[in-house]
């Protein structure tokens, strides 16, 4: 959203310590293994015949799990259900994924080796949890792909969102529940993770809020099943959910998170943007709920920055900044989503940013994120960008910016989340890009109500080229050192005001970056 001018009263967040022993959850999507981790001729979208002729091997799967364990992962959440299909195992009741890439595993299945069991066994051998992940309403293919249960029952689909099922209908809920029950019964999993981010909408938008009790009843049924299976198997089977980043957004989609937590239906939540890394999300509205319960909070980091910035992948200093904000808002650990972008060109697709050599190197960035103290000792680079430049695919508007109209006196404020405490010797520098700000234009800059006297700036007449990130028209970079005493542990506010009487262009500030360098 656009940051409107306010007169904020900054409230520092209280100190938090993470609870429990789980710190790092790695989530892997339906085709990640088939695309990047198996076969001798790796390919993003292989033909079915090619995939069958170059099958996955047990050793491929074991190596993948070993790499996760080596880099500090506590819980490995692998997709086992999507679009009505089972993944990595066959069922007498449900269809196996028919897409070409999943034929990589047919040879193993035909020989009696179940890839899912190989993954589970090695995960346990390495001391990690194995979580069966469900994409609750994946719509890849826009209605043209999926199990027969979906394709043959168009009346149970969402008219607004082709390929999405309407959980208002009992047969839809029964189907997903039955797959979940089968996975828990047949395999030695440690729990389930329901990914509601793919693709968010489970009800028609005009009634989704009113259908919150429907989804809550569904989770009650799943919770009862897990408790029953836990007693039978003499183990604690957990239920986690990947959800949008704000409570209001959750309610609007039909997800009553406060009730799910208060009733003990879920063991942890993973708030998550649909695709991008959000440095500005205020997770304390979730921690206020989880800290009074046994439910844990694991906000999600993603490796990509914002729409329109195709070449950029986050670096360790960016991940440390995200983790600092997560822990500062009351997180108990971190979850990881779409991390395969760090090595996505391994599948042969030129447009993806991650090179072949990104694996397993980028996994090494994760280990230090387990410990808040280690995070705080490293350099941190916060990057506040306009995520979607408008509405995200699940409905929320994510387009933080200041827009200054022509003329002297125009001003605006930008909220930025910095969960930073004052530490002697730490250097902090704030940078922002102002599109349309020309050398002749004068501005006044304030941070948390204090005018900055020593800001520096440079004009880029040719803008920013696509190879360096999100393309920009001519803009000015402005930067200044921040006295740590000005920092608020939580929300901070940057104010920019035009003071030139002859300003004749609109000025847009939608990129703010902060670098923290501990002594």
pLDDT tops 60 at residue 114: yes
pLDDT at 407 over 90: no
Task: Return all residues near 483 (Cβ < 8 A) that are at least 6 apart.
Answer: none
218-233 pLDDT, tens per residue?
999 999 999 999 999 9
Rounded Cα–Cα distance for residues 231 and 327 (Å): 33
- Per-position b or e across 100-112, b if 16+ CB within 10 A of its CB: bbbbbbbbbbeee
Average pLDDT over all residues of the chain: 95
Check whether the bond before 199 is cis (ω within 30° of 0): yes
60-to-55, 56, 105, 176, 208 alpha-carbon distances in Å: 10, 7, 11, 29, 42
How far apart CA 405 and CA 389 sit, in angstroms, is 18
Between 94 and 51, the more confident residue is 94
Q: In CATH, which of 3.40.50.300, 3.30.410.10, 3.20.20.80, 3.40.50.1000 is domain 24-378? A: 3.20.20.80
> And the tokens for 215?
């989804």
Class level of CATH domain 401-517:
mainly beta
Residue 145 has pLDDT above 60, yes or no: yes
pLDDT tens for 123-140 read 999 999 999 999 999 999
pTM of the model: 0.96
According to DSSP, residue 102 is labeled G
Contact 34, 54 (CB under 8 A): no
Sign, Cα dihedral of 185, 191, 196, 199? negative
pLDDT band of residue 143 (cuts 50, 70, 90) is confident
Under 8 Å between Cβ of 332 and 322: no
The answer, yes or no, to whether residue 193 has pLDDT greater than 80, is yes
pLDDT exceeds 80 at position 501: no
Q: Flag whether pLDDT at 3 surpasses 60.
A: no
Pairing between strand 75-82 and 24-28?
Answer: parallel
Residue 146 reports pLDDT greater than 80: yes
- Asked if residue 387 has pLDDT above 50, the reply is yes
pLDDT tens-digit readout, 450-496: 999 999 999 999 999 999 999 999 999 999 999 888 999 999 999 99
DSSP code string of 355-369: -GGGTTGGGGGTGGG
Does residue 319 register a pLDDT over 50? yes
Identify which of 214, 195, 219, 299 has the alpha carbon closest to the alpha carbon of residue 254: 214
Q: Given this model, what pLDDT does residue 44 score?
A: 84
Band of pLDDT at residue 45, cut at 50, 70 and 90: confident
pLDDT for 485: 84
- Asked whether the bond before 360 is cis by omega within 30 degrees of 0, the reply is yes
Kindly list the distances between the CA atom of residue 178 and the CA atoms of 91, 143, 156, 182, 221, in Å, as whole numbers in the listed order.
11, 22, 17, 6, 11
Helices of type H across 314-371: 316-328
pLDDT for 10 equals 61
Judged against a pLDDT cut of 50, whether residue 5 lies above it is answered with no
- Report the DSSP pairing between strands 443-447 and 450-451: antiparallel
Rounded to whole angstroms, the Cα distance separating 296 from 291 reads: 8
Q: What percent of the chain has pLDDT over 70?
A: 98
Do residues 172 and 166 touch, judged by C-beta distance below 8 A? yes
Tens of pLDDT, residues 54-79: 999 999 999 999 999 999 999 999 99
DSSP assignment of 41-59, as one string? S--SS--HHHHHHS---HH
- Strand boundaries in 212-363, DSSP class E: 238-243, 268-271, 296-297, 300-301, 334-336
Listed residue (511, 438, 432) closest to 479, CA to CA? 432
- Residue ranges of domains in the chain: 24-378, 401-517
Three-state helix/strand/coil letters over 469-483: CCCECCEEEEEEECC
């Amino acid at each position: 959203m656009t940051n409107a001018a306010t007169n904020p009263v900054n409230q520092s967040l209280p100190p938090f310590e993470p609870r429990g022993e789980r710190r790092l959850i790695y989530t892997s999507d339906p085709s990640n293994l088939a695309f990047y981790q198996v076969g001798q001729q790796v390919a993003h979208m292989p033909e079915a015949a090619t995939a069958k002729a170059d099958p996955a091997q047990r050793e491929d799967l074991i190596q993948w799990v070993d790499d996760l364990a080596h880099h500090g992962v506590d819980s490995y959440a692998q997709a086992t259900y999507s679009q009505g299909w089972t993944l990595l195992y066959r069922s007498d009741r449900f269809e196996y994924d028919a897409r070409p890439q999943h034929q990589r595993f047919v040879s193993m299945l035909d020989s009696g080796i179940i890839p899912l069991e190989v993954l589970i066994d090695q995960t346990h051998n390495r001391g990690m949890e194995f979580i069966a992940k469900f994409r609750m309403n994946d719509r890849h293919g826009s209605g043209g792909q999926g199990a027969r249960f979906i394709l043959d029952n168009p009346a149970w689909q969402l008219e607004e969102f082709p390929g999405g099922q309407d959980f208002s209908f009992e047969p839809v809920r029964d189907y997903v529940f039955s797959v979940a029950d089968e996975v828990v019964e047949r395999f030695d999993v440690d729990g389930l993770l329901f990914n509601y981010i793919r693709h968010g909408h489970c009800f028609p938008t005009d009634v989704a809020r009113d259908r919150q009790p429907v989804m809550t009843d569904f989770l009650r049924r799943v919770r009862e099943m897990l408790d029953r299976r836990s007693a039978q198997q003499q183990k604690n089977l957990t239920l986690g959910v990947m959800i949008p980043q704000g409570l209001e957004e959750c309610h609007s989609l039909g997800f009553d998170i406060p009730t799910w937590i208060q009733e003990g239906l879920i063991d942890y939540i993973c708030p998550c943007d649909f695709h991008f890394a959000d440095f500005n999300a205020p997770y304390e509205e979730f921690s206020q709920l989880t800290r009074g319960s046994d439910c844990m909070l694991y906000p999600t980091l993603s490796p990509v920055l914002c729409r329109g910035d195709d070449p950029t992948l986050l670096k360790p200093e960016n991940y440390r900044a995200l983790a600092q904000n997560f822990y500062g808002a009351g997180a108990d650990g971190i979850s990881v989503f779409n991390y395969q972008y760090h090595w996505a060109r391994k599948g042969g697709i030129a447009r993806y940013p991650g090179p072949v050599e990104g694996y397993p190197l980028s996994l090494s960035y994760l280990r230090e994120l387990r410990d808040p103290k280690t995070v705080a000792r490293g350099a941190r680079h916060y990057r506040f960008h306009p995520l979607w430049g408008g509405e995200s695919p699940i409905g929320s508007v994510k387009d933080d910016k200041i827009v200054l109209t022509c003329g002297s006196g125009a001003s605006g404020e930008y909220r930025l989340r910095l969960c930073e405490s004052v530490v002697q010797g730490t250097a902090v520098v704030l940078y922002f890009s102002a599109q349309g700000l020309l050398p002749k234009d004068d501005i006044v800059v304030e941070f948390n109500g204090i005018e900055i006297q020593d800001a520096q700036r440079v004009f880029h007449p040719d803008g920013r080229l696509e190879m360096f990130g999100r393309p920009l028209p001519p803009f000015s970079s402005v930067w200044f050192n921040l006295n740590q005493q000005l920092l608020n542990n939580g929300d901070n506010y940057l104010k920019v005001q035009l003071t030139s009487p002859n300003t004749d262009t609109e000025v847009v500030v939608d990129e703010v970056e902060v670098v923290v360098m501990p002594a």
